Chains A and B, each alone.
Chain A
Amino acid sequence: MSVDSQFVHKMWDEHELSKMVQGGIPFPMVADAAGHIGSAYGVYDPDAGVNVRGRFIIDPDGVIQAMEVLTPPVGRKVEETLRQIRAFQHVRETGGKEVTPSGWEPGKKVLKPGPDLVGRVWEVWNPKDDE
């Protein structure tokens, strides 16, 4: 989503993005011409008249689970977004009984929060094991 119109999105997809992504961009490219939506999400910069790089992961209940906001010169890493989605999906599937420590990837060690774990994370989880 950007402040460009849906017509400009079409041109961008047809003339450039479709050369990088087979078949063009598969998801909707939303137009936020006046920045109303960006304002609601706190990512519209009225001085520049554009939305900055904001990324929100929204769960199936419509709740924001993660957000990342960058100034324009630095791009994002899609793999990290996917990793976070997989982690949030795992937590959701286990009803919050399992949580995912730093750098977690599917298949790696999860933690089960509870009184027994307090002060003993070091016994059950070593970030170096994942390297």
Chain B
Amino acid sequence: MAEQESIGCGRPTGSVVGERPKEKEDVETTHKEAAVSTIMVGRKAPDFVAPAYHQGGFKQVKLSDFLGSWVVLCFYPGDFTFV
């Protein structure tokens, strides 16, 4: 597990591991990539790193750090709603 992170005013966002940030003019390519990128049962889960809140502190979470454990990845539309 990653250790505590010092938090500034910036708001870093998460990203998929190994994927370069896309540039504006790449919009068309991005759409094509989205069409071919397949999420499927039986295939590897895309790895990612992202900032997280955990038990009073902030840290970076990397999915591949959890190899060896069962993981439930749960997306929901927004805080202060149900899941």
Contacts and interface: CB of A to CB of B under 8 A. Distances in A.
Contacts of B15: 36-37
B53 to A, nearest CB: 4
Interface-centre pick from A13, A59, A62, A75 (highest chain B CB count, 10 A) = A62
Contact-residue size bin, chain B (C-beta under 8 Å from the other chain):
35 or more
Interface residues of A, number: 59
Contacts of B29: none
Given A6-B53, A33-B11, A60 B75 contact: no
B79 interface: yes
Interface of A: 1-13, 16, 24-34, 36-43, 48, 50-67, 72, 75-76, 81, 85, 88-89
Interface of B: 11, 13-16, 19, 34, 37, 39-48, 50-56, 58-59, 61, 63-64, 66-83
21 contacts: A1-B76, A6-B53, A13-B53, A24-B56, A31-B13, A36-B13, A36-B16, A39-B34, A40-B16, A42-B39, A43-B75, A52-B77, A56-B73, A58-B71, A61-B67, A63-B42, A63-B43, A64-B42, A67-B41, A75-B82, A85-B70
